[in-house]
Amino acid sequence: MSDYNWCHGPECHEQQTQSRIRGSGRDKVLRTIKIKVNPNYHNIHNYFCNTRCLYDYLNKHAQAIANIAPRTKALETPIKVEKEKYESYRYDWNSDDNGATKRVPYMATRTHIKSVKTISTL
């Protein structure tokens, strides 16, 4: 395996940055960025020099990428939802006769989503 990858961004070699300039004299080019691969940390940044190149690639090849692992139905994660009532405050910005804003109590609701452990039958 090579220690370097060329950035896969389809327009990487067209971005006008000093880091892409190669060549000498009048024969200069903008060249695709060469990315040093970290063998201990395999991730998407081994293939793209920046997020623009990543998204250019994803947009250009979105259909083919989706076809690698098609999602034909929605997935679901079992959960438990717990509602908690608690006292909170809102502020009445219409100041009172003394020029102060009023802090008005009210009962608010907080939603907790909790994981449910399931035993896989697969």
Between 51 and 97, CB nearer to Zn ion:
51
| Nearest distance in Å: CB 32, Zn ion | 6
| Nearest distance in Å: CB 24, Zn ion | 23
| Nearest distance in Å: CB 35, Zn ion | 8
Between 49 and 71, CB nearer to Zn ion:
49
Q: What is the C-alpha to C-alpha distance for residues 8 and 47, in angstroms, rounded to an integer?
A: 6
Binding site for Zn ion (CB under 5 A): 7, 9, 12, 33, 49, 53
Between 55 and 89, CB nearer to Zn ion:
55
| Nearest distance in Å: CB 3, Zn ion | 18
Between 7 and 99, CB nearer to Zn ion:
7
Q: What is the C-alpha to C-alpha distance for residues 33 and 58, in angstroms, rounded to an integer?
A: 18
Whether the CB-CB separation of 52 and 15 falls below 8 Å is answered with: yes
CA–CA–CA angle 55, 61, 62 (5° rounding): 75
Whether the CB-CB separation of 61 and 35 falls below 8 Å is answered with: no
Between strands 34-36 and 79-92, the pairing is unpaired
